[in-house]
């Protein structure tokens, strides 16, 4: 287990390093350069040169990268001229809200999709399975914001149960539950479509395995086989899949936050695209990627705990 | 359904059949290959019957494509100039789906928006698949350090939440249709690369590849003559699902304001405008685009699922 853990950690570090290189290259591919982005098109040549010198932009690119990387490791992600504060302080304010939004909706989605997938796998090709599958296919085909707008139309305009914006969210989870329901619900529905489809086919695959036949042959009831044997085997592969969908969850959050005006890291990112606030854009990309890498690390460790075979094969 | 069957199964068969047909050619001495074309046609036809949903999906896909690209030739509308006298008209005989905020006919607009949407979908599916195949084939075939580096790059880009990456790229390059295709492609080729690499790793130890090498075949020849045809089936499934995801990603970009400038439009743009206009009571500006997007993504996914089943069955017969 320790060997596996170390290998997996090293891999995560390598991935983050490559991401930092990609982000750095993007930073230097900006039209007109970083300096123009900060000073605007009207800046004089002298001002441009001055900032280039102070920001160290005339040094060779690999040197610049190393300086940038060292700053990054110190927690210095740059400075937002639009918000007039450091990117790091912006992120510490916005990131937890998005993690809350994405986290709750993922946990709820898992809690609903896994029993649903098991049910569908068990009742495969019957009417209830077909109805659920069709519903999931249609939901899957909807852009996240269409799902959200339908939620708003039904639950906020037709039946005014929940507010349609989360603009004022920020006080805390306990006080703003009503505000969170529609954004979380939308993001959750999107996730359920992924997870339940996967869980269903995983359960069906497992039900065809020899061990199921053996377990049935020695006299176990179907329900018992399903819950004791199939569930565990299907769960472990679904865990990996959930780890792999984290980028989708956060991408969904970007849309949902913009739709509901939820002040999370997605909205921060979107606003930064409008004001061309490059340090914020790049800081956000780095931090959401870090969230994904850490998340999939946790999912993989969960997989290794659930399924001892992984530990032996990979380490 | 049976009336649709022969015609559509011919269409459905193409990607699967390609990879099947090439098999005997790339497997010199690969054993008793008894599958004849006539039998294959029967197999494909029964596969189409078993995949009725995929056939329906393909029918919807073809009809929507015709609607978008042939429709404007029959149903003429002015989608360039704004006409404020006609703004926000409810559906009527003159304008079956009403008019937009600029007084443009919404049915004609749906056709125009569908063109860019489908173009992005097809272009991303093709370009990303080709690029991913080349990347994965090289990584899997060369192996060693090169493979490790190439696949870590895939891991890294895969870890960046794709919409953030797309938006960042499009923001830097400034959106037009080609930039949109490039941006979505930049995140879409990864799964193909992984898939092809895995297949190549398992294929390259087969005897026929070793035999070909022993005759002095060059690396590129082995990759494109022997390895690529064998992975086409799985890749075709992946490409189809990629198209659906690309259309959804493009819709997401449009919602975030990254799209082609008006008067050009896409279904995502129409949906985004429709959301704002819905609050004013102009429901006809929201629902047609919404239905169009759901239909296209749904139909492409149905085709992909059907192809998946066909490829799986083919693999099981080996």
Contact B256 A247 (CB under 8 A): no
Q: Rounded mean pLDDT of A47-73?
A: 79
Set of chain A residues whose Cβ sits within 8 Å of the Cβ of B167: 254, 269-270, 273
- List the one residue out of A245, A14, A284 whose CA is nearest residue B156: A14
Mean pLDDT for back-to-back runs of 10 residues, chain B (318 residues)? 35 38 40 61 74 86 90 79 73 74 80 90 93 88 85 88 84 81 90 86 77 79 74 84 91 86 85 83 83 92 84 61
Cα–Cα separations (whole angstroms), residue A63 to A23, A34, A66, A69, B187: 15, 17, 5, 10, 28
Nearest-CB residue to B160 (from A254, A255, A289): A289
> Helix, strand, coil proportions of chain A in percent (round to 5)?
80, 0, 20
Q: What is the pLDDT of residues A187-205, one digit of tens each?
A: 899 888 888 888 888 888 8
- Report whether pLDDT(A158) > 60: yes
Question: Is residue B295 in some structural domain?
Answer: yes
d(CA B48, CA B154): 35
Structure tokens at B84: 């404020």
- C-alpha dihedral over B124, B130, B132, B133, to 10 degrees? 150
d(CA A199, CA A231): 9
Residue with tokens 């005014």: A160
d(CA B70, CA B75): 9
Q: What is the pLDDT of residues A257-281, one digit of tens each?
A: 888 888 888 889 888 887 777 788 8
d(CA A42, CA A246): 41
Q: Is B252:B180 a contact under the CB 8 Å cutoff?
A: no
Q: Is A299:A239 a contact under the CB 8 Å cutoff?
A: yes
Q: Do strands A85-86 and A79-80 pair parallel, antiparallel, or not at all (unpaired)? A: antiparallel
Contact A143 B257 (CB under 8 A): no
Q: CB distance from B298 to chain A under 8 Å?
A: yes
Question: Is residue B26 in some structural domain?
Answer: no
Q: Is A165:A261 a contact under the CB 8 Å cutoff?
A: yes
Q: Is B296:B247 a contact under the CB 8 Å cutoff?
A: yes
Is residue A15 within a helix (H) or strand (E), and if so which, with residue range?
Answer: helix A2-28
Count of CB atoms situated within 10 Å of the CB of A59: 14
Query: Please, which residues have CB within 8 angstroms of residue A259's CB and are 6 or more apart in sequence?
Result: A144, A145, A148, A149, A183, A186, B255
Cα–Cα separations (whole angstroms), residue A297 to A102, A108, A301, B49: 17, 20, 6, 43
The backbone torsions φ and ψ at residue B88, rounded to the nearest 5 degrees and listed phi first, read: 50, 40
Set of chain B residues whose Cβ sits within 8 Å of the Cβ of A296: 159
Question: Is residue B120 in some structural domain?
Answer: yes
Query: Please, which residues have CB within 8 angstroms of residue A263's CB and are 6 or more apart in sequence?
Result: A94, A97, A166, A167, A169, A170, A257
What confidence score (pLDDT) does residue A34 get?
64
- List the one residue out of A31, A1, A11 whose CA is nearest residue A278: A31
Alpha helices in B81-221 (DSSP H): 106-142, 144-159, 162-173, 177-203, 207-214, 219-221
Question: Is residue B238 in some structural domain?
Answer: yes
Decide if the complex's ipTM is over 0.90: no
- List the one residue out of A104, A106, A108, A128 whose CA is nearest residue A118: A128
What confidence score (pLDDT) does residue B29 get?
41
What confidence score (pLDDT) does residue B16 get?
37
- Report whether pLDDT(A237) > 50: yes
Question: What number of CA atoms fall less than 13 Å from residue A256's CA on the CB side?
Answer: 29
Residue A167 pLDDT level (bands cut at 50, 70, 90): low
The CATH H-level superfamily of A98-306 is MetI-like (1.10.3720.10)
Q: Is A38:A82 a contact under the CB 8 Å cutoff?
A: no
Set of chain A residues whose Cβ sits within 8 Å of the Cβ of B156: 15-16, 18-19, 22
Q: Is B185:B135 a contact under the CB 8 Å cutoff?
A: no
Q: Is the entire prediction scored with pTM above 0.95? A: no
**Number of folded domains that form chain B:** 1
What confidence score (pLDDT) does residue A251 get?
87
Question: Is residue B39 in some structural domain?
Answer: no
Alpha helices in A55-176 (DSSP H): 61-73, 87-122, 127-140, 144-152
d(CA A192, CA A135): 11
Q: What is the pLDDT of residues A89-127, one digit of tens each?
A: 888 888 888 888 888 898 999 899 888 988 888 888 888
Q: What burial class does residue B21 get, using C-beta atoms within 10 Å of its C-beta: 0-12 exposed, 13-18 middle, 19+ buried?
A: middle
Q: CB distance from B56 to chain A under 8 Å?
A: no
Q: What is the DSSP letter of B90?
A: P
Q: What residue of A is the nearest CA neighbor of B156?
A: A15
What confidence score (pLDDT) does residue A145 get?
85
Set of chain B residues whose Cβ sits within 8 Å of the Cβ of A300: none
Q: What residue of B is the nearest CA neighbor of A31?
A: B172
- List the one residue out of B223, B40, B158 whose CA is nearest residue A19: B158
Residue A305 pLDDT level (bands cut at 50, 70, 90): confident
Cα–Cα separations (whole angstroms), residue B111 to A59, A124, B102, B175: 52, 39, 16, 21
Q: What is the pLDDT of residues A206-227, one digit of tens each?
A: 888 888 888 888 888 878 887 7
Q: What is the three-class DSSP state of B282?
A: coil
Buried b (16+ CB within 10 A) or exposed e, B43-81: bbbebbeebebbbbbbbbbeebbebbeebbeeeebebee
Set of chain A residues whose Cβ sits within 8 Å of the Cβ of B290: 142, 146
d(CA A89, CA B124): 37
Q: Any idea where the domains of chain A sit in the sequence?
A: 2-87, 98-306
Which of the residues A34, A140, A143 would you substitute to probe the B interface, choosing the one with the greatest number of B C-beta atoms within 10 Å? A143
- List the one residue out of B237, B132, B125 whose CA is nearest residue B181: B125
Residue with tokens 């003159």: B94
Q: Is B238:B305 a contact under the CB 8 Å cutoff?
A: no
Q: What is the pLDDT of residues B34-76, one digit of tens each?
A: 556 777 778 777 767 777 888 888 999 999 999 888 888 888 7
Name the average pLDDT for chain A. 81
Contact B168 A137 (CB under 8 A): no
Q: What residue of B is the nearest CA neighbor of A246?
A: B161
- List the one residue out of A294, A307, A268, A251 whose CA is nearest residue A87: A268
Q: Which CATH number characterizes residue B225's domain?
A: 1.10.3720.10
Question: Is residue B23 in some structural domain?
Answer: no
Q: Minimal Cα–Cα distance from B167 to chain A, Å?
A: 8
Task: Give the CA radius of gyration of chain A.
Answer: 24
Residue B123: give the domain boundaries: 54-75+93-317
């Amino acid at each position: 287990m320790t060997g596996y853990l170390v290998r997996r950690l090293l891999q995560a570090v390598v991935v983050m390093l490559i991401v930092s290189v990609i982000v750095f290259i993007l930073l230097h591919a900006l039209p007109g350069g970083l300096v123009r982005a900060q000073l605007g098109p009207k800046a004089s040549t002298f001002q441009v040169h001055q900032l280039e010198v102070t920001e160290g932009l005339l040094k060779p690119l690999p040197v610049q990268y190393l300086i940038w990387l060292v700053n990054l490791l110190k927690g210095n992600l740059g400075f937002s001229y639009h918000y007039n504060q450091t990117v790091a302080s912006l992120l510490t304010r916005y990131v937890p809200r998005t993690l809350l939004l994405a986290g709750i909706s993922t946990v709820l989605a898992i809690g609903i999709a896994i029993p649903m997938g098991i049910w569908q796998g068990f009742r495969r090709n019957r009417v209830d399975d077909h109805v659920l599958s069709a519903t999931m296919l249609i939901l899957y085909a909807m852009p996240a914001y269409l799902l959200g707008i339908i939620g708003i139309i039904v639950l906020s305009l037709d039946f005014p149960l929940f507010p349609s914006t989360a603009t004022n969210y920020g006080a805390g989870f306990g006080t703003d539950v009503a505000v969170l329901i529609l954004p979380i619900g939308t993001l959750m529905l999107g996730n359920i479509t992924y997870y339940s489809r996967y869980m269903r086919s995983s359960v069906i695959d497992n039900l065809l395995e020899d061990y199921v036949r053996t377990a049935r042959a020695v006299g176990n009831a179907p329900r018992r086989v399903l819950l004791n044997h199939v569930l565990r085997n299907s769960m472990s592969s679904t865990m990996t899949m959930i780890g792999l969908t984290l980028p989708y969850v956060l991408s969904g959050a970007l849309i949902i936050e913009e739709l509901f005006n939820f002040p999370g890291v997605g909205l921060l990112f979107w606003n930064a695209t409008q004001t061309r606030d490059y340090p914020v854009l790049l800081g956000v990309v780095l931090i959401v990627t870090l969230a994904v890498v850490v998340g999939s690390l946790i999912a993989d460790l969960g997989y290794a705990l659930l399924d001892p075979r992984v530990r032996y094969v990979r380490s | 359904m049976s009336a649709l069957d022969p015609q559509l199964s011919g269409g459905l068969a193409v990607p699967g059949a390609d990879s099947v047909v090439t098999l005997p050619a790339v497997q010199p001495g690969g054993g008793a290959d008894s599958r004849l074309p006539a039998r294959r046609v029967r197999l494909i036809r029964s596969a189409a019957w078993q995949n009725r949903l995929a056939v329906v999906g393909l029918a919807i896909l073809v009809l929507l494509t015709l609607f978008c690209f042939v429709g404007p030739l029959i149903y003429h509308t002015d989608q360039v100039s704004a006409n404020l006298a006609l703004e926000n008209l409810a559906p009527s005989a003159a304008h079956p789906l009403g008019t937009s905020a600029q007084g443009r006919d919404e049915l004609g607009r749906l056709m125009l928006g569908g063109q860019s949407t489908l173009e992005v979908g097809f272009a991303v599916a093709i370009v990303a698949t080709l690029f991913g195949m080349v990347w994965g084939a090289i990584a899997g075939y060369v192996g060693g350090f090169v493979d490790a580096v190439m696949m870590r790059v895939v891991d890294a880009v895969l870890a960046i939440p794709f919409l953030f990456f797309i938006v960042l790229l499009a923001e830097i390059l400034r959106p037009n249709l080609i930039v949109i295709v490039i941006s979505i492609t930049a995140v879409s080729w990864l799964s193909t690369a992984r898939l092809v690499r895995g297949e190549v790793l398992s294929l390259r130890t087969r005897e026929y590849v070793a035999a070909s090498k022993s005759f002095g075949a060059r690396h590129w020849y082995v990759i494109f003559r022997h390895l690529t045809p064998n992975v086409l089936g799985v890749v075709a499934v992946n490409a189809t699902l990629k198209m659906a995801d690309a259309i959804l990603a493009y819709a997401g970009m449009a919602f975030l304001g990254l799209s082609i400038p008006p008067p050009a439009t896409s279904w995502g743009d129409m949906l985004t405008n429709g959301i704002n206009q819905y609050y004013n009571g102009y429901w006809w500006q929201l629902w047609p685009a919404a239905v169009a997007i759901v239909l296209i993504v749904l139909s492409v996914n149905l085709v992909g699922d059907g192809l998946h089943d066909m490829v799986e069955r083919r693999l099981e017969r080996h």
